[in-house]
Structure formats: C-alpha cells, structure tokens
C-alpha cells in the first residue's frame, strides 16, 4: 500500500479542522445549556423579591401553603410582597394564611399591598405583613366573625313537612334550619362567635401598634377606607407596589435593581379543567353557600 505524502498531510489537516469544529460545537452546546439554566435560575439563583397574589374567598389551601414554605426557605428570595384583594373567607382559612406568612416573616421582610378590598379574614391575612400599604379607596377592616343560619320551620309547616332529629344532646347540630333556635343554643353559638372574635382581636393587637381597647373600639364590624385605616392605625401607608419597593429599599436595604417575580402555587389540575371548575362554581353557587365553618367575610350585597 502506497502513501502519498501530500494526501497524508491533507488528511491530517482535515482531522485537525474536524476536531476544532467538534470542540466548538461542544462549547456552543455547553454555553446554551448554561444560559438556559441561568435564565430559569436553575444554575445560579439570582436575588429576587417574590410577589404572591391572594384573591377571592380565602379558605385553606395546601398548595398555597407549600409555595409560602418554599419562599421562606429560598435564600435567593430577599423579600415577599403579598397583594391582597379579597372580601375575606373562613376564619380557619384566614388563620392558616396568616400563620404561613408569619413563617416567611421569620426569614425575610413581608409587605402587604391591599387592592380594592381586604376585609375580614383578608385583613387578618394582611396584618401578618411587616408593613401594610393600601390605596386611598381600598375597603378594609370589618374585624369580626359571623355565623349565619336560617329558620325554615314555618315554611315546612305550611307545606306539611315535619322534620325530626334524634340527638345525643340538646346542643348537637344547632343552629339548625329545621328547628327553632332555643335560648340555650343561641347562647352556645354566640359564645363560639365571641371566642373566635377574641382570637381575631389578639392577632391585631399583636401585629399592630394599637392596644386592646383601641382595637375593640375599631372592631365593631364596620369597614374603613384606606385613608381612614391609615388614620386609625389599622394600616401603615397609602401606596401600591412601588411604595412597597421604596420601603424595602430604605428600611431593608433591598435595592430596586433586585427584580420582582410573581410566584404561583403549583396546580394539581390542568389549566382548562381548573378554569371550567372555577367558572361552574361561580355561576351556580354563591360564595357564601360554598363555605363551611365560622366566617370572617364582608359581603354587603349577598
């Protein structure tokens, strides 16, 4: 077998060029992967301010709690801004969200920004923030607890229906729409409401620069505008997210250059099925009819 010296030289040159292009390709792929990971904050997490939105009726939500727990542990999240636009919800829902936000607050600043409405259990949520902002026209307050029932016994009499209940005690399953409310049942239910009202008051006293007498004077169930809430100490300042970022920059040394990103709970269902479920629920049922337990909700048109 003969070897042409020129052919051997050309082959070696071709191999060197091929190796160069292979190396260049590998470098390009590696840089693309690094850039992709960096863009998604999976390689080197950049500092951020997290934004979470709380809207609609507030109930227990494990996915929301899981998100807040992740935010609390994530050292790249410098602060949390909570946008609240809600008439309230269940007492347990408000308590659950309040305590989840307190856990975040143990690790980093939490700022509440109120929207159109932040009343009842939504105000309970708001006081978990280190600083509370609202618009001048925001509706807030409505500090209190509600237990509603109806008495349909006269209606049942008219249509000839006589309900009967076999109970282990006179206060079991009361109030009930199928039996008149006795004085004993009324007193027991009112005691329940007052106990959770005291719980709500305790949270406000703990988180706001007000003593118990001042909070009790404000907590007759009425709502306040943002302007009134600043004046009576229920919130701190008029403003939106930009004002919240100013406060974080001045008081917590978190500059405006740190980007704000919106974080959402992971959905267990597809977007289409979740949207259809929400649409069906809103169109067929009143929010009040889908809530169980004691309520802390403001609903003037219900």
Q: Which residues are marked as active site?
A: 120, 172
The answer to whether 141 and 229 are in contact (CB under 8 A) is yes
Residues 6+ apart with CB under 8 A from 199: 91, 95
Residues 6+ apart with CB under 8 A from 83: 51, 52, 53, 54, 55, 113, 115, 241
List the one residue out of 119, 116, 135 whose CA is nearest residue 127.
Answer: 119
For residue 41, how many other CB atoms are within 10 A of its CB?
Answer: 13
Total number of residues shown for the chain: 302
The answer to whether 103 and 128 are in contact (CB under 8 A) is no
Residues facing residue 112 across a β-bridge: 82, 132
- Tokens coding 102: 């307190």
The answer to whether 129 and 112 are in contact (CB under 8 A) is yes
């Amino acid at each position: 077998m003969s070897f042409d010296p020129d052919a051997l030289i050309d082959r070696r040159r071709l191999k060197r060029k091929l190796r160069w292009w292979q190396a260049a390709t590998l470098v390009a792929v590696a840089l693309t992967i690094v850039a992709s990971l960096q863009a998604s904050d999976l390689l080197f997490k950049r500092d951020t301010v997290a934004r979470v939105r709380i809207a609609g009726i507030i109930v227990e939500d494990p996915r929301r709690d899981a998100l807040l727990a992740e935010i609390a542990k994530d050292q790249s999240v410098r602060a949390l801004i909570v946008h609240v636009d809600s008439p309230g919800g269940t007492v347990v829902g408000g308590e659950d969200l309040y305590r989840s936000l307190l856990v975040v607050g143990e690790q980093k600043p939490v700022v509440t920004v109120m929207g159109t409405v932040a009343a009842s259990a939504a105000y309970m949520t708001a006081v978990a923030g280190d600083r509370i902002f609202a618009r001048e026209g925001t509706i807030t307050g409505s500090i209190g607890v509600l237990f509603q029932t109806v008495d349909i016994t006269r209606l049942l009499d008219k249509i000839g229906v006589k309900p009967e209940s076999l109970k282990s005690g006179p206060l079991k399953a009361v109030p009930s729409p199928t039996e008149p409310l006795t004085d004993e049942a009324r007193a027991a239910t009112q005691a329940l409401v007052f106990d959770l009202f005291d719980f709500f008051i305790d949270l406000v006293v703990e988180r706001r620069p007000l003593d118990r007498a001042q909070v009790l004077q404000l907590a007759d169930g009425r709502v306040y505008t943002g302007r009134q809430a600043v004046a009576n100490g229920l919130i701190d300042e008029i403003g939106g997210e930009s004002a919240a970022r100013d406060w974080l920059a001045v008081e917590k040394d978190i500059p405006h250059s740190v980007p704000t990103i919106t974080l959402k709970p992971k959905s267990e269902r597809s977007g289409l099925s979740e949207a259809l479920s929400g649409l069906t629920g809103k169109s067929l049922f009143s929010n009040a009819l889908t809530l169980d337990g004691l309520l802390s909700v403001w609903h003037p048109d219900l």
